[in-house]
Amino acid sequence: MNLLHILWSLIQRDLRLAWRSRGELLNPVFFLILVIALFPLGVGPEGKLLARIASGTVWVAALLATMLSLDLIFRSDVEDGSMEQMFVSQTPLSWIVLGKVITHWLVTGLPLVLLAPLLAILMHLPQPGLWALIQSLALGTPVLSLIGSVGVALTVGIRKGGMLLSLLVLPLYVPVLIFGTAAVENAIAGMSPAGPLLILAAMLLFALTLAPLTAAWALKVSLS
């Protein structure tokens, strides 16, 4: 219970700090909406065409929007020296990483999930695919944050490491993209989306187990 209390305190602290720079946090959300809103202008407004590419388009846009905000996970704590204090605290560093990843998902991933109905309307997504889209985003976006935390931890000590970060995390994001899209496509085709969704759930459990430990180790290496 003590560790859970510490985790909740870390999340509250980071949420307060995030609220102070809420303009920066809204950038991924605006990016997602802008991409989805402009996409019909590029491929045409035909409803059947948009519906056919809706799942892939939404998932790619969500993936890129998440990547825009990955740098926020540790950057402020490294810049103001808080991370060094966390290193010497008695709280396990992996627990601190987990709190920061949860905060990152709350301020970036959760809004993407909540925007799913709007995105479905803009892309003429058939009704059967809407619930599958919400479920796949709810399971997949935390995986993106967890994987991204490892990449950020490896590059946090490098100036202008954005390109390296992209090269590190994009290959690991591909399975999430594939199964997230497959769940929606199955639902649209009248098949059960349970298979891809269960695989996403397994990915989430696997990433939840290993990513905080790996990111904590990477932080120690990068900032030592």
Mind listing the pLDDT tens digit for each residue in 14-63?
888 877 776 667 788 888 888 888 877 777 767 677 878 888 888 988 89
- In this predicted structure, what is the pLDDT of residue 74? 81
Flag the least confident range among 79-88, 91-100, 179-188, 202-211.
79-88
Q: What percent of the chain has pLDDT over 70?
A: 94
Place of tokens 């931890």: 153
d(CA 100, CA 124): 35
Q: What is the band of 162 on the pLDDT scale with cuts at 50, 70, 90?
A: low
Mind listing the pLDDT tens digit for each residue in 133-159?
999 999 999 999 999 999 988 888 776
pLDDT at 1 > cutoff 60: no
d(CA 157, CA 153): 8
Helix H segments across 21-124? 22-25, 27-43, 47-69, 75-79, 82-88, 93-104, 110-114, 116-122
- In this predicted structure, what is the pLDDT of residue 133? 92
Name the burial class of residue 168, with classes exposed (0-12), middle (13-18) and buried (19+) by CB atoms within 10 angstroms of its CB: middle
Which residue ranges make up each domain of the chain?
2-223
